[in-house]
Structure 1
Amino acid sequence: MPPRHWALWRQGPRVVVYCLLTEAAAVTLTLRPSPIAVDRRTLLILAVLLVLGVVQSETGRRVERIRRRVSGTPHINMTSVWTFAGVLLLPPPLLALLVTGLYGHLAVRSWYRLQRVPASRTVSNAAIILLSCYAAQAVLRGADIRTALTQGWPGTFAVAAAGATFFVVNALLVLPARREVGRTPEALFGTWSDNGLEVATLCLGALNALALATMPGLVLLVLPPLLLLHRTVLVKQLEVAAHRDEKTGLYNTSGWHALAERTLAAAARQHTTFGLLMLDLDHFKQVNDTYGHLAGDAVLKAVAESIIAAVRGRGDAVGRFGGEEFVVLLPGIDHPDIGPVAERIRRAIATLRVPVGQLSITGLSTSIGIAVYPRAGTSLQRLLDAADTALYHAKATGRNKVVHVADLA
């Protein structure tokens, strides 16, 4: 494909400039002089890490493709098992060959059929990983794991610091490369499971390096647990996907109901409260009729993001009940505090501008009904009925407003 047709140029000026800068920085740092000599042993280590990385990738190729398809956000792959071992054992030029080989193989064998992973994205990801590797090596100050082995606890802390540096630098460098940067901690840095997986792969990478430095044959022992971990992560992603709405990424009806039932049981045991918000976009049919259903889907996604940004934090759960109706679960909240949250959501939706081609859809509004446990009901269905009653009253009395069922009583 000619350079002028590369997908990179469609990412926007900010992303294009950032990707080119990170790639240039990765090339520049790769070419700098290295204190670690390139000898037969380091070349053999490079070959072992590259071969094992390719074997693991080939063995888990089907799993990786499915993970890419079901994941709505960037996800953690398994390359840190090999690249972090390279950080602890290889000089920068060979480390660059390792990263290039692993990501090139992933692009050709695992990602080539997936339109969401263009070649420019693979190159950018590889450059960011390489910069993270170099940052981790800077913490080691030219030493490797063989040197760390002779230093006792200081060497152990140095390796741990290198792993932490890799983790943090990679998380920060990825953010500007995204076309759309999330507004919640989970959207910015991933879930606890995502970060836990990255930590696990870094730990396995350190053990890989230790095995190669002392008893090289033991490095083969990492493959069975790594393949099992890869498959376990896929199962978890499929479970999450089964409870998510495809258009918005929010909980679907069954997923939200399951979470709400657990919250209800906990509130009953602990004698606490929680709140429900029922939201319905006003005149949404006009959006579909005027701009088309694809534009309507874009509006639903933008509304979902606005609701997530307006709720209080990680404990709150937002779901889509179908059509233009949304529901929000607010654990540990009572009557005086739930109204401001609902108003914040209503105002956020009212100020939305959703780009559709050359146009922007504005003037959106929503009606919201509020119910609080246990005052409005002691079962989930009663609470939903109460919130729906308040929502209907908001619709019937002018729309674009918040109504608490307790005020109706």
Structure 2
Amino acid sequence: MARRSALWRQGPRVVAYCLASEVVAVALALRPASPAVDRRTLLVLGTLLVLGVVQAETGRRVERNQRRRSQPPHINMTSAWTFAGVLLLPPVLLAVLVAGLYLHLAMRSWYRLSRVPASRTVSNAAIILLSCYAAQAALRLADVEDIRSAVARGWAGTFAVVAAGLTFFVVNALLVLPARRRIGRTPAALFGTWSDNGLELATLCLGAVNALALATLPGLAALVLPPVLLLHRTVLVKQLEVAARRDEKTGLYNTTGWHALAERTLSDAERHSGTFGLLMLDLDHFKQVNDTYGHLAGDAVLRAVAQAITSSVRGRGDAVGRFGGEEFVVLLPDIDPADIGPLAERIRRAVSTLTVPAGQCSITGLSTSIGTANYPTSGRSLQHLLDAADTALYRAKATGRNKVVHVTDVV
């Protein structure tokens, strides 16, 4: 029964890492508390929990939409409270704070989201807690016990708090990587976009301000809440912008979003006498997947294929889109024409090795046919390039499928 859970389906490496990180987090949390827990410390814990819950409740819709639509890594706003805990709470109460915040998120924001099972919530909380303890260790190395002693140290205390924040940021980014079943190839896939990381740094800054307020004028801690909610509003605006140019099912660019990027790439190539590549992909026999396993399994296959393609391209400059059904398109700016074929083969191989869970079964043996074109040899307008790649794709389908055909190979 346990092996049917979401955790056991992630593979031995992920299971071992998640369990190990959780054990280490619990062991560190149960260290003897120093300094001793007093009434004021308990009041700080309660204040941070209340503020964190209020923020999560107020931004619950935004958080759920962000978790539903985004690809890993996912940045939430808990650092405004957990980093304040780093600067104010002993290890055991810091563990209580993290557990309380993530339990509330799981019960109120993520409970209907299939991609956030209980095992994932526990693993996320353990990683955040380990990041908090790493930040506290950075403080101790600077001979700073908490925010109060940092204030007493002046500039030295300021640098210690900044170092603790950066430690939290870096350690969290690194600890998340082994917990993923698939690790991306690009910096954005590994560590998130600039805006994602800017959001995390902003919440860490608010966490430091929060701790300072609680240590000096506790009533001012409530003033941290409006900026956090404003950041949530900014995230909502970003979600709406992304929704307008992203395919909801796979998270890839939709036709409109991909065409806009492709037209800009074409204009740049025309101005600077550059070149770019274009791939058209179509899943082979996809109708059989829907007929055999159902449309929900078919959607899971589309998402897995989208992730495989995204992980196989070169980086953020490459744009992967879904043109509807089981057809995908890839834009490859500034690529040497000789490199288009090997990259297409890498995508084809990545799709062929996929194993997609479908209820009690697993879907394997997927394949894709790919047609390639490049500017300006295959055409000088976007429509001509798409037509050329589509012709090559048709030839791949007609001559056996599961292959890459270049437009120059089509007679």
User: TM-score normalized by structure 1?
Assistant: 0.86
User: Matched residues in 1 for 2:27 and 2:251: separation?
Assistant: 39
1:183 match: 184
1:328 match: 330
CA gap of 1:106–1:401, structure 2 versus 1, over 3 A, is closer
Pick the aligned partner of 1:224 from 205, 223, 226.
226
CA gap of 1:227–1:375, structure 2 versus 1, over 3 A, is same
Aligned partner of residue 77 in structure 1, secondary structure:
coil
C-alpha deviation, 1:341, in angstroms: 2.0
Kept in 1: contact 2:370–2:392 (CA 8 A): yes
User: Matched residues in 2 for 1:298 and 1:328: separation?
Assistant: 20
2:97 aligned with 1:98, yes or no?
Answer: yes
Kept in 2: contact 1:7–1:120 (CA 8 A): yes
1:385 match: 387
CA gap of 1:388–1:109, structure 2 versus 1, over 3 A, is closer
User: Matched residues in 1 for 2:357 and 2:36: separation?
Assistant: 54
- Greater CA drift, 132-141 or 313-322: 313-322
C-alpha deviation, 1:92, in angstroms: 1.4
1:185-334 correspondence to structure 2 within 5 Å: 185=186, 186-290=188-292, 292-334=294-336
Kept in 2: contact 1:181–1:187 (CA 8 A): no
Amino acid at match of 2:265: T
C-alpha deviation, 1:115, in angstroms: 4.6
Amino acid at match of 1:235: V
User: Matched residues in 2 for 1:204 and 1:33: separation?
Assistant: 29
- Greater CA drift, 53-62 or 195-204: 53-62
2:364 aligned with 1:361, yes or no?
Answer: yes
Pick the aligned partner of 1:151 from 150, 153, 156.
153
2:69 aligned with 1:66, yes or no?
Answer: no
User: Matched residues in 1 for 2:36 and 2:230: separation?
Assistant: 36
Query: How many residues end up aligned between the 2 structures?
Result: 406
Amino acid at match of 1:233: V
2:40 aligned with 1:54, yes or no?
Answer: no
1:103-114 correspondence to structure 2 within 5 Å: 103-114=102-113
- Greater CA drift, 395-404 or 252-261: 395-404
2:164 match: 162
State the Cα RMSD in Å.
Answer: 3.1
C-alpha deviation, 1:354, in angstroms: 4.9
User: Matched residues in 2 for 1:3 and 1:275: separation?
Assistant: 46
Aligned partner of residue 150 in structure 1, secondary structure:
helix
CA gap of 1:161–1:378, structure 2 versus 1, over 3 A, is same
User: Matched residues in 2 for 1:311 and 1:74: separation?
Assistant: 18
Kept in 1: contact 2:282–2:368 (CA 8 A): yes
Kept in 2: contact 1:317–1:330 (CA 8 A): yes
1:30 match: 29
- Greater CA drift, 20-29 or 281-290: 281-290
Kept in 1: contact 2:373–2:389 (CA 8 A): yes
- Greater CA drift, 150-159 or 257-266: 150-159
Amino acid at match of 2:139: L
CA gap of 1:286–1:27, structure 2 versus 1, over 3 A, is closer
Pick the aligned partner of 2:373 from 347, 366, 371.
371
User: Matched residues in 2 for 1:26 and 1:195: separation?
Assistant: 24
C-alpha deviation, 1:4, in angstroms: 10
User: TM-score normalized by structure 2?
Assistant: 0.86
Aligned partner of residue 370 in structure 1, secondary structure:
strand
Task: Structure 1: state its 5+ residue gaps.
Answer: none
C-alpha deviation, 1:397, in angstroms: 4.5
**Cα distance per residue 1:34-84 (max 9 Å; x no partner):** 443433433332233222222222322333233334345452221110110
C-alpha deviation, 1:232, in angstroms: 1.3
**Cα distance per residue 1:336-365 (max 9 Å; x no partner):** 332322233334444555565445532x44
CA gap of 1:267–1:10, structure 2 versus 1, over 3 A, is closer
Amino acid at match of 1:22: S
2:83 match: 84
1:122 match: 121
Kept in 1: contact 2:371–2:396 (CA 8 A): yes
Kept in 1: contact 2:79–2:200 (CA 8 A): yes
1:339 match: 341
Amino acid at match of 2:121: T
User: Matched residues in 2 for 1:158 and 1:176: separation?
Assistant: 28
C-alpha deviation, 1:390, in angstroms: 2.7
CA gap of 1:174–1:89, structure 2 versus 1, over 3 A, is same
User: Matched residues in 1 for 2:60 and 2:200: separation?
Assistant: 19
C-alpha deviation, 1:160, in angstroms: 1.6
**Cα distance per residue 1:302-335 (max 9 Å; x no partner):** 4333322332222111112122222110001243
Amino acid at match of 2:380: T
Aligned partner of residue 135 in structure 2, secondary structure:
helix
C-alpha deviation, 1:14, in angstroms: 4.8
User: Matched residues in 2 for 1:311 and 1:30: separation?
Assistant: 41
CA gap of 1:294–1:157, structure 2 versus 1, over 3 A, is same
User: Matched residues in 2 for 1:63 and 1:248: separation?
Assistant: 19
Kept in 1: contact 2:2–2:8 (CA 8 A): no
Kept in 1: contact 2:367–2:402 (CA 8 A): yes
Aligned partner of residue 347 in structure 2, secondary structure:
helix
Amino acid at match of 2:260: A
User: Matched residues in 2 for 1:31 and 1:55: separation?
Assistant: 28
User: Matched residues in 2 for 1:366 and 1:405: separation?
Assistant: 17
